[in-house]
Amino acid sequence: MTLKTDIDLKSLVRTIPDYPKPGIMFRDITTLFGHASGFRACVEELVRPFHDQRVESVAGIEARGFILGGAAADRLRCGFVPIRKKGKLPAKAIGQDYELEYGVDVIEIHEDAISAGEPVLLVDDLIATGGTAVAAIKLLRRLKAEVIGAAFVIDLPDLGGLARLAELGVECHTLISFDGE
């Protein structure tokens, strides 16, 4: 988590207490996205460890993972694959249940989005319990992708998501962290 940028990325993330329900501290990354040099530095830091690895696709999780994942794919000169909420993808898709910090849902991926053995980097804005990322990794592995790593701007270490991904053998790269939920 040693960053090369002088920009204080953490200070650009806005915290909204009690959203979307009481007790949740919502880490709103849209304020970072809206800051030109902050957003640029954030994407640079996010992809930094992956420049010297073979990455054929970045898979981004809806919706903030699309913004970061698209920019990351452009930096890594590779393709982008969307992982979407249920019912949003137009072609044949496979789905996976997952638990959020505040609810239960299903994410889907087009079944022809990845070729067997393809090296894929997973990207999202934040990892909390890791439930969403675990479901995304299961989807990618069902398509026989080689998940070479996962990158998140924000880690909430008290919720243990990185440990869950480590159990699956997926190495994570994160930029900033917030204590608590």
C-beta of 169 vs 180, nearer to ligand AMP? 180
Catalytic residue, chosen from 56, 101, 108, 118, is 101
Residue 162 binds to ligand AMP (criterion: CB under 6 A): no
Nearer to ligand AMP, 79 or 157 (CB): 157
Pairing of strands 103-110, 25-28: unpaired
Residue 54: CB minimum distance to ligand AMP, A: 26
Residue 64 is a binding residue for ligand AMP (CB under 6 A):
yes
Contact 145, 94 (CB under 8 A): no
Residues 100-159 binding ligand AMP (CB under 6 A) are 100-101, 124-133
The yes-or-no answer on residue 48 being catalytic is no
Q: Which of 114, 161, 170, 175 binds ligand AMP (CB under 6 A)?
A: 161
Residues 6+ apart with CB under 8 A from 59: 69, 80, 81, 82, 83, 109, 113, 114, 120, 121, 122, 123, 136, 140, 145
Catalytic residue, from 64, 108, 118, 164: name it.
64
Using a 10 angstrom Cβ sphere, with 0-12 exposed, 13-18 middle and 19 or more buried, the burial of residue 24 is: middle
Grouping H, G, I as helix, E, B as strand and the rest as coil, residue 26 is: strand
77 flagged as catalytic:
no
Residues forming the site for ligand AMP (CB under 6 A): 24-27, 61, 64, 100-101, 124-133, 161
